[in-house]
């Protein structure tokens, strides 16, 4: 569908015009980056027309709105995706061709907006795409970090973090909206004033410091439906810069303090994935964007509705993990202090407007804020949480009279800490996990007491991914092939991929499918050559593990297995071994020492293995630097084997697993997270499953009954590999470099449990599953069938399905279509 605005000649003219206006240059003189800016502005021009149309339609229809509140939105590049969703990608490619530019090169000029760490942030981005495509009124609300997730450089095998100054050249797809600025207050104290007129106490925050929150809007383009939703990210600005006279005339000291407060709030994204760092600045970030977002939402609601009691009918606040849980207290504050409601009224509204998604059961990710820190920074909010807690404990006592254990386990404030998950559960009407197994573990283990108390709040929403980015944009060859075979309905209805099943045994289809895979492997091999200087053979098996580096994800098990294979090949040079390229990509949190050491180990093994001529290139190890959304698209397209090998019970869902599957990679994995459902869709015979079950892991954990030493002592292969960590094999003779990893597996000195993630327990099962992979790959037709069936059976894992379930079961939004 060619939009009128994308008439080729007009578009070319507009690009030229933009180059002139922006840079006083002709198109021949402009750099590729300048062309990117000019093209983006031309595209934004079209988007803005649809943005206005959408707004008009929303004003007319008055649909219910979901605010997706998230500290992270890992959007990835916008230009290509916007063109895809405007159905103008090919037209623009042609237009640029005629101007002498390559769209791919232009796309590569865009910084990769990395305002997120990993799973939870990328999920938010996929959800926004699906919400717009399905025609639901949704706002993403977040923070405009000046520095996104760091860029990763590998130096001498070690990760080095480089700041990501993504706004350096200006970002063409954002729109600053200073007219919608909001004031956010920190610190001070709460003054209680009796109001004889109402007979109630008024709570007034005084002596506080203010920061101004300035919204920047980014368009979220729906696929082929003219809908454009909004991602609103807030930036901080000192009030003194803006309108000092209005707020505190002449108070210089305060002005400077406020300026300092504002300066660093939005500086940088905390680089932790699945891990909580209890820093004051992080708490400030949380309240900053929540207060601004909730104020704006209430203001918007009041513009067209007279009664705030109707809020739950028209608005849902979805909390992306506990980071935005402040929403509960901020909404209470507005309803109580600014709207003059009673506690009961305000609580009734709040608990029917907020809903919470849990994304992890990792204990170190649980947010618990020290009371002192919290109450000092947010005195009124803390007061409100205290009252919520008092009433909640009363409720527990009513239900379980005399049961102090329940209070201890469930209270929102306990042991000097504010527990955000407990607040999110008590303060909302829905609690969901992100895959069936994960939700069951929440109900039976982690949140058992809460489930017992509020069984009806709990529900599952298995994650999904957007096929528009991860197939249509990321893998154009396969996308075209699919469309040739089953039409293009899959772009908005991924279940239609099941029509491909009839081709599973079709020789020609198999060949075409594998030929496309091969071409994508060539594309990745080229990227690896250019970026890593390593030559890889596209005919080898591309075995890929890309995701954040975390012990529970067990990149360590993968690289230990590579060490094991290398030993095997060295010992038995005559052995029949199918060439394999192990590809890794992962950022480690800057302060996560063991994760960073694991990166070094991977690179150290790569160094030795890749340079050993005696193995004839049978094994290659590649660590792709700076894994991020843009190169991920290319990596998924090129993978044969998808490594999803977390310790069972630890990976809430995973979404990379779905992106691989969609692109025809076969999973080797544990029965964890959404892997369980992937296997259910594609069949046991089309995946390679191994290892302890989540029940077994949890059982071990509850009874402390696992002894890694037993594997070390009884299995010479394992012992050999482990000894190589401390005998200098991969460290030029340095016995100490990898000792921490060795110790973590056997616990020769540390005080925590040994091998917390059951690597040795699962190692042999993993190696055996890898043998099955190899055997299966040798059977060309058999593998083609498996790969094709993975694509054909991936329909369930679209975020369109996930979002429709959120809509049907939690949000109850109204569908909107743009008339005309
Ligand atoms: C992640 C989970 O680790 C991953 O399994 C899941 O697919 C993803 O969320 C989306 O639901 N969790 C996080 O990124 C996180 O930081 C606090 O959780």
| 434 C-alpha to ligand 1 centroid (Å) | 8
- N-term to C-term CA, the chain: 15
**Residue 433: is its pLDDT beyond 60?**
yes
For the cut 70, the answer to whether the pLDDT of residue 228 exceeds it is yes
**Ligand 1 center–CA 431 separation, angstroms:** 15
Query: Phi and psi dihedrals of 392, rounded to 5?
Result: -65, -40
Indicate the average pLDDT of the chain.
95
Q: Give the mean pLDDT of 774-802.
A: 98
For the domain covering 62-76+112-463+805-811, report its CATH number: 3.40.50.2000
Q: What is the structure's pLDDT at 4?
A: 46
CB atoms within 10 A of CB 26: 10
Check for a shared fold between 62-76+112-463+805-811 and 494-797: yes
Q: Which of 652, 654, 660 to mutate to test the pocket of ligand 1 (most atoms within 8 A of CB)?
A: 652
Residue from 653, 660, 797 to probe ligand 1 pocket by mutation (most atoms less than 8 Å from CB): 653
Over residues 722-738, the mean pLDDT reads 97
Contact 39, 125 (CB under 8 A): no
Q: How far apart are CA 552 and CA 595, in angstroms?
A: 10
Q: Which of 162, 165, 212 is nearest to 185 (CA)?
A: 212
pLDDT value at residue 246: 47
Please tell me the least confidently modeled range out of 250-264, 469-483, 701-715. 250-264
pLDDT at 117 over 70: yes
What tens digit of pLDDT does each residue of 352-377 get? Answer: 999 999 999 988 888 999 999 999 99
Residues 326-341 pLDDT 10s:
999 999 999 999 999 9
pLDDT of residue 198: 86
Nearest CA residue ID for atom 4, ligand 1:
654
User: What CA–CA distance (Å, rounded) separates 280 from 272?
Assistant: 15
Does residue 2 surpass a pLDDT of 50? no
Residue 457, beta-bridge partner list: none
Residue nearest to atom 1 of ligand 1 (CA): 119
Of all residues in the chain, what percent are helix, strand and coil, respectively (each to 5)? 55, 15, 30
pLDDT for 1 = 40
How far does the centroid of ligand 1 lie from the alpha carbon of residue 358, in Å?
Answer: 8
Pick from 149, 272, 360 the residue to mutate for probing ligand 1's pocket: most ligand atoms within 8 Å of its CB. 360
Residue pLDDT, tens place only, 266-307: 999 999 888 888 899 999 999 999 999 999 999 999 999 999
For residue 238, which of 255, 250, 253 has the smallest C-alpha distance?
Answer: 255
- Cα of 274 vs centre of ligand 1, distance in Å, is 7
CA of 306 to the centre of ligand 1 (A): 39
Distance from the alpha carbon of residue 547 to the mean position of ligand 1, in angstroms: 11
- Beta bridge partners, 542, equal 581
CA of 448 to the centre of ligand 1 (A): 20
Short-list 598, 603, 558, 599, CA closest to 580: 558
Tokens representing 800 are 């369109």
Tokens of 170: 């200006």
Give me the pLDDT at residue 544, please.
98
Atom of ligand 1 nearest to the CA of 274: 16
The pLDDT value recorded for residue 256 is 75
| Residue range 550-570, pLDDT digits in tens | 999 999 999 999 999 999 999
Closest atom of ligand 1 to CA, residue 654:
7
State yes or no: pLDDT of 752 exceeds 80.
no
Is 166 in contact with 148 (CB distance < 8 Å)? yes
What pLDDT score was predicted for residue 532?
Answer: 86
Interval 582-596: pLDDT, tens: 999 999 999 999 999
Residue ranges lining ligand 1, Cβ < 6 Å: 118-120, 123, 273-274, 321, 359-360, 365, 434, 463, 651-655, 673
Atom 15, ligand 1: residue with shortest CA distance: 274
Give the pLDDT mean for 768-772: 98
Domain ranges of the chain: 1-61+77-111, 62-76+112-463+805-811, 494-797
**Cα 151 to ligand 1 centre (Å):** 20
Ligand 1 center to residue 537 CA distance, Å?
33
Say which DSSP state 337 is in: I
For residue 122, which atom of ligand 1 is closest to its CA? 10
Cβ(136)–Cβ(816) below 8 Å: yes
Structure tokens at 811: 């949000």
Nearest alpha carbon to residue 135 among 223, 48, 70:
223
DSSP state letter for 796: G
Rounded to the nearest angstrom, the distance between the alpha carbon of 540 and the centre of ligand 1 is 31
Q: Is 70 exceeded by the pLDDT of residue 42? A: yes
Strands, E, within 564-713: which ranges?
A: 580-585, 619-623, 641-644, 666-669, 688-689
Alpha carbon distances (Å) from 459 to 321, 435, 436, 437, 810: 15, 10, 9, 12, 9
Query: For the residues 715-720, what does the mean pLDDT come to?
Result: 98
Backbone angles phi, psi at 545, to 5 degrees: -125, 105
Q: How confident is the model at residue 704 (pLDDT cuts 50, 70, 90)?
A: confident
* Burial class of residue 94 (count of CB atoms within 10 Å of its CB; 0-12, 13-18, 19+): middle
Complex-level ipTM: 0.98
Q: What is the DSSP string of 720-764?
A: HHHHHHHSSTTTTT-SSTTHHHHHHHH-SS-SSPTTTT-HHHHHH
pLDDT tens, residue by residue, 97-106: 999 999 999 9
Write out the two tokens for 114: 């990395």
* Tokens describing residue 610: 């890749």
C-alpha 40, offset from chain centre? 25
Report, as an integer, the average pLDDT of 567-584: 96
Q: Is the pLDDT of residue 199 over 60?
A: yes
Has residue 239 got a pLDDT over 90? no
Cα distance between residue 681 and residue 688, in whole Å? 14
Q: Whose Cα sits closest to atom 17 in ligand 1?
A: 274
CA–centroid distance, 435 to ligand 1, in Å, is 11
The residues assigned a catalytic role are: 359, 547-548, 553, 655, 659
d(CA 118, ligand 1 centre) in Å: 7
The CATH number assigned to the domain with range 494-797 reads 3.40.50.2000
Q: What is the dihedral of CA 466, 471, 472, 476, to 10 degrees?
A: 170
- In ligand 1, the atom with minimum distance to the C-alpha of 123 is 10
Alpha helices in 533-662 (DSSP H): 555-571, 593-610, 629-638, 656-662
């Amino acid at each position: 569908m060619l939009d009128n605005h994308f008439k080729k000649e007009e578009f070319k003219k507009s690009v030229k015009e933009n180059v002139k206006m922006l840079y006083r240059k002709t198109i021949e003189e402009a750099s590729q980056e300048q062309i990117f800016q000019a093209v983006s502005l031309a595209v934004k021009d079209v988007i803005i027309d649809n943005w206005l149309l959408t707004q008009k339609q929303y004003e007319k229809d008055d649909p219910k709105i979901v605010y997706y509140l998230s500290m992270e939105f890992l959007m990835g590049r916008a230009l290509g995706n916007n063109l895809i969703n405007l159905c103008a990608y090919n037209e623009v490619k042609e237009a640029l061709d005629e101007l002498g530019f390559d769209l791919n090169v232009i796309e590569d000029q865009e910084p990769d907006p990395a305002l997120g760490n990993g799973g939870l942030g990328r999920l938010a981005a996929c959800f926004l795409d699906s919400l717009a495509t399905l025609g639901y009124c949704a706002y993403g609300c977040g923070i405009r970090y000046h520095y996104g997730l760091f860029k990763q450089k590998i130096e001498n095998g070690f990760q080095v973090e480089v700041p990501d100054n993504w706004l350096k050249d200006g970002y063409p797809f954002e729109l600053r909206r200073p007219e919608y600025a909001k004031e956010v207050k920190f610190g001070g104290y709460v003054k209680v004033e009796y109001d004889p007129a109402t007979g109630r106490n008024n709570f007034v925050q005084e002596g506080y410091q203010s920061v101004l929150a300035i919204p920047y809007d980014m368009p979220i383009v729906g696929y082929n439906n003219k809908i454009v939703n909004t991602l609103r990210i807030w930036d901080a600005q000192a009030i003194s810069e803006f309108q000092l006279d209005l707020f505190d005339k002449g108070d210089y000291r305060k002005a400077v303090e406020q300026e300092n407060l504002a300066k660093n709030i939005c500086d940088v994204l905390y680089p932790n994935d699945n891990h909580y760092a209890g820093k004051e600045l992080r708490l400030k970030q949380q309240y900053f964007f929540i207060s601004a977002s909730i104020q704006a939402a209430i203001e918007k609601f009041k513009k067209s509705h007279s009664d705030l009691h109707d809020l739950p009918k028209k608005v849902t606040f979805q909390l992306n993990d506990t980071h935005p849980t402040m929403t509960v207290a901020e909404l209470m504050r507005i309803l109580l202090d600014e709207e003059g409601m009673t506690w009961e009224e305000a609580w009734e509204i709040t608990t029917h407007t907020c809903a919470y998604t849990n994304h992890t059961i990792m204990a170190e990710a649980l947010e618990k804020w020290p009371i002192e820190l919290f109450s000092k920074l947010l005195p009124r909010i803390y007061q409100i949480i205290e009252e919520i807690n008092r009433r909640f404990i009363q409720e527990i006592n009513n239900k379980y009279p005399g049961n102090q254990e329940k209070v201890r386990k469930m209270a929102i404030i306990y042991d000097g800490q504010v527990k955000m998950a407990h607040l999110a559960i008590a303060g909302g009407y829905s609690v969901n996990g992100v895959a069936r197994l994960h939700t069951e573990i929440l109900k039976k283990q982690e949140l058992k007491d809460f489930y017992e108390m509020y069984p009806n709040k709990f529900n599952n929403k298995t994650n999904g991914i957007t096929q528009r980015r991860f197939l249509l944009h990321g893998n154009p060859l396969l996308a075209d092939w699919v469309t040739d075979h089953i039409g293009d309905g899959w772009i908005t209805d991924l279940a239609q991929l099941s029509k491909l099943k009839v081709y599973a045994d079709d020789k020609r289809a198999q060949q075409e499918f594998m030929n496309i895979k091969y071409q994508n492997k060539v594309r990745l091999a080229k990227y690896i050559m250019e970026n890593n200087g390593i030559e890889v053979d596209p005919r080898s098996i591309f075995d890929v593990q890309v995701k954040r580096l975390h012990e529970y994800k067990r990149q360590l098990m993968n690289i230990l297995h590579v060490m094991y294979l290398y030993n095997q090949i060295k010992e038995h040079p005559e052995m029949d071994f199918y060439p394999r390229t192990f590809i890794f990509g992962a950022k480690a949190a800057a302060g996560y020492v063991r994760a960073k050491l694991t990166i070094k180990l991977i690179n150290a093994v790569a160094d030795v293995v890749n340079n050993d001529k005696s193995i004839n290139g049978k094994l290659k190890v590649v660590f792709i630097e700076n894994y991020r959304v843009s190169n991920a698209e290319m990596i998924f397209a090129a993978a044969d084997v998808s490594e999803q090998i977390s310790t069972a019970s630890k990976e809430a869902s995973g979404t990379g697993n779905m992106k691989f599957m969609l692109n025809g990679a076969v999973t080797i994995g544990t029965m964890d997270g959404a892997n369980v459902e992937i296997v259910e869709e594609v069949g046991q015979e089309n995946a390679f499953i191994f290892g302890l079950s989540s029940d077994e892991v949890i059982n071990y954990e509850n009874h402390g009954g696992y002894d890694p030493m037993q594997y070390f002592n009884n299995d010479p292969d394992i012992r050999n590999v482990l000894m190589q960590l401390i005998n200098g094999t991969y460290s030029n003779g340095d016995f100490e470099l990898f000792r921490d990893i060795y110790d973590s597996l056997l616990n020769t000195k540390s005080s925590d449990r040994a091998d917390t993630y059951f690597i040795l327990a699962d190692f042999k099962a993993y190696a055996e599953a890898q043998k099955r992979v190899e055997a299966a790959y040798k059977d060309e037709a058999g593998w083609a069938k498996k790969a094709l069936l993975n694509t054909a059976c991936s329909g369930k894992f679209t975020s369109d399905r996930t979002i429709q379930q959120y809509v049907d079961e939690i949000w109850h939004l109204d569908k909107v279509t743009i008339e005309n």
